[in-house]
Amino acid sequence: MRGLVAALVSLGVLSSCAHAPSAATPEAPRWPVFARALPPQSFSAVPLEPRATEGKAVLVVFVATWCFPCLTEFVALERLEREYAAKGLAIVLVGMDLEGEQVLRPFADSYALKWPLLGADDALRTGGSPFGLVRELPARVLFDRQGQVLASYSGVLEYPKLAALIVKALER
């Protein structure tokens, strides 16, 4: 957990290093730092559209197909989606399974996931990304509307506490 927190502090520092678009490319995307740190391919029917997350609070949830607490969290995520998506919440899942697409695509299809499900690459699984080493599942990182880390935690969190964090992220 300390590695995740340290990496998230680094992620906050990295967010201040955004590159300004050059004169040659005035339409260059300003994707949030968290989006640049994630693998680009989604194995669910929903692609990751980093531009669509700009100005939104984003909850990144690290899961695995074999993780029962991860599966039970989908009910809470659906409720969060219903209550807060229209107010500016986006949810992104990251599958930590070593088998990648082989298990993540059928998993996403069988659960009809409504969120992007990205497959972790080796750097993300081994702690070599700005997210640091994810030691427990499910793990979550909540970004406010400016792309700053508001909270990170792992394990099961009661819905009222999670909703309160989401409200705080949406207010910033």
* Cis omega (within 30 of 0) for bond into 130: no
How far is Cα 69 from Cα 136, in angstroms, rounded to an integer? 11
pLDDT over 90, % of the chain: 53
How far is Cα 2 from Cα 24, in angstroms, rounded to an integer? 42
Backbone angles phi, psi at 53, to 5 degrees: -90, -10
CATH superfamily of 2-13+32-145: Glutaredoxin (3.40.30.10)
Residue 151: which residues within 8 A CB-CB, separation 6 or more?
140, 141, 142, 165, 169
**76-135 tens-digit pLDDT:** 999 999 999 999 999 999 999 999 999 999 999 999 999 999 999 988 899 988 888 999
Which pLDDT does position 33 carry in this prediction? 65
